[in-house]
Amino acid sequence: MSDILDSDEALSFRDAEAADLPAIVALLADDALGAARERNETPLPACYTEAFERIRAQGGHRLLVAVDGDGAVVGCLQLMLLPGLARQGLTRAQIEAVRIAAPLRGRGHGGRFILHAVEQARAAGCGLVQLTSDNSRAGAHRFYERLGFAATHVGFKMMLD
């Protein structure tokens, strides 16, 4: 795992602010899947601001950003705490919408960002961290496995109207 974490570039992590939304949407739209799903437009469509407010209002849900030494948003992820009854009342964390700016990939930033989210989950009392990754993202799957995640389940989704 150490090769994933090697980087001398400054990077910090914080909760996203409304002013970060254009950069976050640009990150989400910057790949083949995201380009078809997101609306990276100026002005930013209201649906993103509305979703951001819902995330902030929901306890245990956080939108995190990775910020470079100049203060630019270079990564994002969503961390959700999910209390449950299964596994003797275990709270799990769900990580979604993970992105690092394309020019910065392969430098250890993504690994440090994910491990930061794992530590946030641990500090919140979670006993398990899970994430999903599209079947077409083989490189991402290898990345998560190198960080210690295991592909233990098959996931299913149903789009609702």
At 31 the pLDDT is 86
Taking each helix axis as running N to C, give the angle between helix 109-123 and helix 138-146, from 0 to 180 degrees, rounded to the nearest 10. 60
Q: Cα torsion at 118, 122, 125, 128 (round to 10°)?
A: 60
Output the pTM of the full model.
Answer: 0.90
Residue 54 belongs to domain with CATH number = 3.40.630.30
For 62-116, what is each residue's pLDDT tens digit?
999 999 999 999 999 999 999 999 999 999 999 999 999 999 999 999 999 999 9
pLDDT score for 10 = 83
Domains in the chain: how many in total? Answer: 1
Is residue 108 situated within a structural domain?
yes
Q: Which three-class secondary structure state does DSSP give residue 89?
A: helix
Q: Answer whether residue 38 is part of any domain.
A: yes
In a domain, 48, yes or no: yes
Give domain status of residue 78, yes or no.
yes
| pLDDT, tens digit, 9 for 90 and up, residues 16-45 | 999 999 999 999 999 888 889 999 999 999
CB 21 within 8 A of CB 56: no
